[in-house]
Structure formats: C-alpha cells, structure tokens
Amino acid sequence: DELKDALRRKPLPYGTYFDSIAPARTFGFIEEVEALRKAGLALGGSEENAVVVYPDRYSSPLRFPNELARHKLLDLMGDIALAGLPLPNMEVFAVKPSHRLNVEFARALVGSLGR
C-alpha cells in the first residue's frame, strides 16, 4: 500500500533538513482525529500543519510524495534531540517508528555513549 511504499528507505542528501524534512506536516487517521476533536483536543490542526488520512485520500495535497515518512523522520530527530544528544552522521533503520520507540532508542543511545 502507499504508506508502506512511502516508508521504504530513501536516503536524503546531506544538508536538506530545512527544505526536505522540516516542512513535513504531522498526520493522523480520520478516526483518530474525530476522537481527539470530540475530546476537545487537536483543535489547532489545519491543512497548514497537519494531514488527515482518509481511507481513499488525504485532506490536502502532500508537500512531498513521501511526506508522511519524512514527518516520521522529523519526529525521530526531535526525540533524539530532546535526549540531549547531538545528531551525528548516522544511518537509522526504523520500522513503524513512534514517539515511544524513538524515546527507547534515544535512551539506548545515551546508555551506549555512557552519558
């Protein structure tokens, strides 16, 4: 399916963070978005900062063909940065990353670096 294809390994050229990663919007599936809104949450979401994933379409055109995967990379980079680690030149292979898994990964990095 399209989401799985978008998450396949696609290296980005060095130095492309501001043009290729930072603009990737957060996303959520329509069922999750509806539940959040009923709970009074996610009220600041708009097409400028989020993509809603419907079964057959997106709420707005994607900025990149693999924008969802790029946002997952953005999340991973942010979670590592919050651990106080510099972002070294490294290759990371992530399958179905999430903030929970990213934080576990960051903790393991901190532990392996003896910090």
Q: Which residues are catalytic?
A: 99
83 and 57 Cβ atoms separated by less than 8 Å:
no
One-character DSSP codes across 72-107: HHHHHHHHHHHTT----S-----SS--HHHHHHHHH
Q: How many CA atoms lie less than 13 Å away from 59 in the CB half-sphere?
A: 17
Look-up of token digits 């419907």 = 54
Q: Write the single-letter amino acid at 54.
A: Y
- Cα Rg for the chain, rounded, in angstroms? 15
